[in-house]
Amino acid sequence: MIYGEPRLTHDVDLVLELEASDADRLVQAFPLKEFYVPPEEVVELEARRAQRGSFNIIHHATGYKCDIYVCGRDPLHSWALSKRRAVQLADSTVWFAPPEYVILRKLEFYREGKSPKHLADIRGMLATSQIDVAEVDRRAGELGLSAEWNSVRDTV
């Protein structure tokens, strides 16, 4: 985890600007002998969704999973991509979503599944990262997440 406190996971979450016409290139980029990749038609379908398009790619040998969320026309994804942050890791530049976006998505996932890991992640982020609290307040209100946000924010 780039923000907050690390925890052991075997996955990475990516938000991609992906058009249906890109599905074949994406599927071909991951050899089927090494990776589980959904069929091209599934990737195309998910890329066409206006919101909440997603699929997984899994490395067979390690079980590591990549959860891919398609940007679509989701305004929060678009905002996050416009505010992404570059981090230099070794000889590569890696782009990360702003921590405020991560908090908002974790609040959504918490609302849907009630898994306490999302709240623990948010607390860790609030304790260790610089967060634009006013931005989270505003966007949480827009997304109907104010109650969840206020409850976790008040515990830090």
Q: What is the average per-residue pLDDT within 114-123? A: 92
The mean pLDDT of the chain is 92
Q: Which helix (H) or strand (E) holds 117?
A: helix 116-128
From CA 22, how far away is CA 24, in angstroms rounded?
A: 6
Most confident of 31-40, 70-79, 118-127: 31-40
**1 part of a folded domain:** no
Query: Is 93 in the same domain as 32?
Result: no
Strands 65-70 and 11-16: parallel
> How many domains does the structure of the chain reveal?
2
Query: Is 123 in the same domain as 83?
Result: yes
Query: Is 95 in the same domain as 131?
Result: yes
**152 part of a folded domain:** yes
**104 part of a folded domain:** yes
Tokens found for residue 32: 């089927």
**40 part of a folded domain:** yes
Q: pLDDT-based confidence at 1, cuts 50/70/90?
A: low
The one-letter code for the residue type at 61 is A
**Does the pLDDT value for residue 129 go beyond 90?**
no
Q: What is the average per-residue pLDDT within 92-114? A: 93
21 and 27 Cβ atoms separated by less than 8 Å: no
Query: Is 99 in the same domain as 64?
Result: no
Q: pLDDT-based confidence at 10, cuts 50/70/90?
A: confident
Query: Is 87 in the same domain as 149?
Result: yes
Query: Is 56 in the same domain as 118?
Result: no
pLDDT of residue 6: 74
In which domain, by residue range, is 22 found? Answer: 18-70
Query: Is 63 in the same domain as 84?
Result: no
> What is the model's pTM?
0.82
Query: Is 57 in the same domain as 27?
Result: yes
